[in-house]
Amino acid sequence: MKFVSWNVNGLRAVCGKGFNDIFASFDADFVCLQETKLSPGAFELDFDGYHSYWNLADRKGYSGTAIYTRTEASDVKYGIGIDKHDREGRVITLDMDDFYLVNVYTPNSQAELTRLDYRIEWEEAFRNYLCCLDRVKPVIVCGDMNVAHKEIDLKNPASNRRSAGFTDEERGEFTKLLDCGFIDTFRAVKPDLTDAYTWWSYRARARERNVGWRIDYFLVSECLRLKIADANIKAEIMGSDHCPVELVLGLMD
């Protein structure tokens, strides 16, 4: 079973960069998108053989998430049930037979860390939400989680100690999530792989020089550890400042 997650940084924009062909090349059972930047009723994209689910922000052209799935979900939830956190289209949860699939676009702490306090509040609420799901059945959570967890996960850790996405507070919140029983699948498969990034600044030829950050993830419940067959970063796929990430799970019992 193959899962793909990608922050497309504007679905309209990436559609002009070969998205249809890229989507077909995934040949995935589930494709999760973040930062679709769509307005209600403005634009949706369908693919044969896939059901799609969309969560759009109240604010026009901002944030937003989507999931494509070959298997229709038995239920779908938009947001985490807390109004102040559910206005930016950041979370979709699909209730599948054997697991929950959660697609998330975590808030960025912003320049000068102006949104760090809100980010930490969000992290606690989202973690509690995932833990509640995990008590029911296994959880697969993916998306742009806007944090490089360890120094291995970005090119220049020393100079980014207080940059958004690499503060002690954000990294600590990610550690708390893992401590709740979730596994960073990429590091489970490739624990020591360096220079493996999923986001690059548009400035200073960062992608060309591979000066990047790994901030896009697939996490799974501990009970799925032995189901992890592979986890990859698809850095060769262009079209956004992020690249897709991929998870392959063995068939569910």
- CA gap 45, 19 in Å, rounded: 10
Query: Cβ(78)–Cβ(50) under 8 Å?
Result: no
Task: Exactly one of 144, 153, 184, 216 is catalytic; name it.
Answer: 144
Query: Cβ(27)–Cβ(244) under 8 Å?
Result: no
Task: Exactly one of 105, 129, 197, 217 is catalytic; name it.
Answer: 105
Tell me which amino acid residue 84 is: K
- CA gap 42, 239 in Å, rounded: 21
- Residue position matching structure tokens 């307005």: 39
Catalytic residue check, 129:
no
Query: Cβ(197)–Cβ(213) under 8 Å?
Result: yes
Catalytic residue check, 105:
yes
Q: Which residues are catalytic?
A: 105, 144
